[in-house]
């Protein structure tokens, strides 16, 4: 895999002359000074197997947080960090066959007794046993624990922790989508601490490094494989909460597009939409830095050009898509998400609309709501996006980028993917909108990271804009696959 598309995306974004000051401190997109590192950083992420990529990981960008529940103490400060930092797992390998290097990576980490954590679906697809077989063939026997549940519940994390301890595992290999990876990360840290996982909700409550986690994603897009937080569900009240911190992320990621081929189309599509929102929000974030800009700018054209690979496009497209999602995940993990996530979370909490879909359904309205603080940056994103749409002619693309807003562009993508807009059709009663808007205020860290501070009335107006079923689109309740998450 080459870095070509990413490189040209960066050129298209004008990032060769990107600002050096963090987003909030320079006039928006003011191209101050030039990002001399654009070329070399791209080289650093070159993904012909991505080698042992690893951007310089000097410290933790303090704003790289998502709280998926009530705002925990210590989450309040959001703003542009003075020093641009990107923290990534120590080893990042991307490309076909990346999983074949798992035994070598474990050896490099000094791990000899891994526990493989996965769920029943991934096991049924044959992936977990294939990975276990690779390890066994390399002389590293592994125990497979396939009891990850659909909601990443606290009790599931604790059962997984028990399995880590019962097998004396010295490392954890997470094979699956975001749910398996988040459970594995939380359990690996909990195994080195005491108590229950809810006791660690919030930021940096883990004080010791846990068992090293190697993430092997089987869905493109969740970003869990590069992030330092795990999003979990409380069995007490059904609420989502996050355990986050610099000791909670995977130490290695082996992202192999061949493992994503069997992922359910709706799961992969929703995760990729989430990933696109990660890139967009990271680019518009107050906490954005030149380094996260670089990654977000590379992610947008890769994801928008290749997102249909979640259905039936060839493996080469999946490879590009996985790479784009990885860029987006690292951008989000370091610049944090924004208001789209804040309005998306309550939809998942209350109606179990899958996280990525919930974000996508509110994204056009939220992008309009934050336009005043991010107009130039939104235009830059439209330009990146239009250049990536291979189906349109150069003239059409040029006209589109002159006239289309980012919200219109996003809505058009949903149409292209056959996603019917209108929260009404996903089981959201109009009478609930004020309560949803009230819920949003509980997501202070992401809300405060948006380019414009949204008050209750603006949030409610955004929900109202996203609610109706547009005239001329199919009516009736949209069934969610499995009505899950």
Question: Which residues would be at the binding site for ligand NAD (CB under 6 A)?
Answer: 119, 121-122, 125, 127, 152, 176-180, 182, 218-219, 222-224, 227, 229-231, 259-260, 262-264, 267, 271, 274, 355, 485
Name the one residue in this structure whose structure tokens are 């609420």: 239
Q: How far is the CB of 119 from ligand NAD (least distance, A)?
A: 5
Q: Report the nearest approach of ligand NAD to the CB of residue 229 (Å).
A: 5
Residue 21 Cα to chain centre, angstroms: 24
CA distance 124 to 146: 10
Within 8 A by CB and 6+ apart from 49, the residues are 1, 93, 94, 95, 97, 98
**154 or 274: CB nearest ligand NAD:** 274
Least distance CB 259 / ligand NAD (angstroms): 6
Q: Return the bridge partners of 202, or none.
A: 243
| CB nearer ligand NAD, residue 19 or residue 229 | 229
CB neighbourhood size of 352 (10 A): 19
To ligand NAD, the closest distance from the beta carbon of 233 in angstroms equals 8
CB of 23 to ligand NAD, least distance (A): 21
> Which of 271/433 has CB closer to ligand NAD?
271
Least distance CB 322 / ligand NAD (angstroms) = 12
Cα 367 → chain centroid? 18
For ligand NAD, the closer of residues 29 and 324 by Cβ is 324
Considering beta carbons, is residue 256 or 293 the nearer one to ligand NAD? Answer: 256
* Shortest Å, Cβ 199 to ligand NAD: 19
Report phi then psi at 469, rounded to 5. -85, 115
| DSSP H helices in 125-264 | 127-137, 154-166, 178-190
Contact predicate 430/424, CB 8 Å: yes
**Closer of 222 and 334 to ligand NAD (Cβ):** 222
Which DSSP string do the residues of 348-373 spell out, in sequence order?
HHHH---HHHHHHHHHHHHHHHTGGG
Could you give the CA distance from residue 264 to residue 354 in angstroms, rounded to a whole number?
13
Nearer to ligand NAD, 15 or 447 (CB): 447
């Amino acid at each position: 895999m080459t870095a070509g598309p990413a490189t040209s995306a960066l050129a298209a974004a004008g990032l060769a002359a990107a600002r050096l000051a963090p987003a909030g401190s320079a006039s928006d997109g003011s191209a101050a000074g030039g990002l001399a590192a654009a070329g070399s950083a791209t080289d650093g992420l070159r993904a012909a197997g991505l080698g042992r990529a690893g951007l310089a990981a000097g410290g933790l960008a303090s704003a790289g947080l998502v709280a998926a529940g009530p705002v925990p103490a210590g989450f309040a400060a959001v703003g542009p960090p003075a020093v641009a930092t990107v923290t990534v797992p120590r080893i990042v390998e991307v490309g076909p066959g990346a999983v074949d290097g798992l035994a070598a990576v474990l050896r490099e980490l000094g791990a000899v007794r891994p526990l493989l954590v996965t769920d029943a679906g991934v096991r049924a697809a044959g992936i977990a046993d294939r990975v276990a077989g690779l390890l066994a063939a390399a002389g590293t026997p592994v125990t497979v624990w396939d009891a990850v549940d659909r909601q990443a519940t606290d009790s599931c994390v604790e059962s997984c922790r028990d399995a880590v301890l019962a097998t004396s595992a010295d490392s954890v290999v997470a094979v699956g989508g975001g749910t398996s990876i988040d459970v594995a990360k939380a359990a690996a840290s909990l195994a080195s601490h005491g108590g229950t996982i809810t006791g660690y909700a919030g930021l940096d409550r883990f004080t010791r490094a846990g068992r090293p986690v190697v993430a092997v994603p089987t869905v493109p897009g969740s970003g869990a494989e590069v992030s330092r937080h795990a999003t979990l569900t409380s069995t007490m009240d059904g609420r989502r909460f996050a355990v986050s911190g610099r000791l909670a992320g995977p130490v290695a990621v082996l992202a192999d597009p061949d493992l994503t081929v069997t992922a359910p189309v709706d799961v992969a599509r929703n995760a990729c939409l989430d990933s696109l929102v990660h890139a967009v929000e990271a680019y518009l974030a107050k906490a954005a830095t030149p380094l996260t800009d670089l990654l977000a700018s590379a992610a947008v054209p890769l994801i928008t050009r290749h997102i249909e690979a979640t259905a039936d496009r060839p493996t080469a497209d999946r490879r590009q898509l996985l790479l784009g999602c990885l860029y987006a995940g690292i951008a989000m993990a370091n610049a944090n998400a924004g208001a789209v996530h804040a309005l998306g979370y309550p939809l998942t909490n209350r109606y179990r609309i899958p996280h990525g879909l919930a974000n996508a359904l509110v994204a056009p309205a939220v992008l309009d709501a934050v336009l005043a603080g991010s107009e130039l940056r939104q235009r830059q994103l439209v330009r990146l996006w239009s250049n990536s749409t291979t189906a349109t002619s150069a003239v059409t693309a040029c006209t589109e980028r002159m006239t289309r807003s980012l919200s219109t562009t996003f809505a058009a993508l949903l149409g292209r993917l056959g996603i019917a807009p209108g929260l009404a059709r996903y089981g959201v009663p109009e009478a609930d909108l004020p309560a949803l808007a009230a819920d949003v205020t509980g997501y202070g860290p992401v809300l405060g990271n948006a380019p414009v501070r949204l008050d209750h009335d603006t949030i409610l107006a955004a929900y109202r804009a996203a609610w109706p079923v547009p005239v001329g689109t199919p009516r009736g309740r949209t069934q969610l696959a499995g009505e899950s998450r």
